[in-house]
Amino acid sequence: MAYLRERKKEVDIDFSLKDIWQALFKAADEFDWEIEEKDENANRLTIDTAQTLTSYGSKLKVELSPINEKQTRMVIYGETPYNHNFNSGIWTDC
C-alpha cells in the first residue's frame, strides 16, 4: 500500500531573493521539472519533479522570504509517495 510522506526543510541562503528565484526556474528546466503554480508576489512555487525508473516523482512547495538584501530564507515542503511494502517497520518521521 502506498502512503504520502511529507517533509519540511528551512534554510538560510547567502544569495538575494531575486537570484534564488531565478535559479529555481533554471533548475526546474535543467531537471525537466514542471512548475505547476507560481506566485511572484508571495515568492511561492509548486514544482512537480519527474518520476524515473528508480524513484517516485515529488511535489515541492517552495516559499522564499528576504532576510536582508543579500540573504534569503527558503522553506521547502516535499511530498513523496511512500510504498510501505518495500520498507520494514513503520515510517514515522514527518
Determine, yes or no, domain membership for 51: yes
Stated pTM of the model: 0.74
Q: Exposed, middle or buried, 66 (CB in 10 Å: 0-12/13-18/19+)? A: middle
* CA triple 94-8-27, angle to 5 deg: 135
What amino acid is encoded at 87 in this protein?
Answer: N
Determine, yes or no, domain membership for 42: yes
**Torsion-angle region of 27 (φ positive above 0: left; ψ -120 to 50: alpha; else: beta):** alpha
Determine, yes or no, domain membership for 35: yes
Determine, yes or no, domain membership for 31: yes
Task: For 45-64, write each residue's pLDDT tens digit.
Answer: 999 987 777 777 888 899 99
Q: Exposed, middle or buried, 47 (CB in 10 Å: 0-12/13-18/19+)? A: buried
Spatial distance between the Cα atoms of 69 and 10, rounded to a whole number of angstroms:
18
Q: Region 59-84: what's the mean pLDDT?
A: 88
Determine, yes or no, domain membership for 93: no
Determine, yes or no, domain membership for 88: no
Domain count, the chain: 1
Predicted confidence at residue 94, as pLDDT, reads: 45
Write the CATH number for 43. 3.30.530.20
* CA triple 6-15-12, angle to 5 deg: 40
Q: Which domain holds residue 74?
A: 2-82
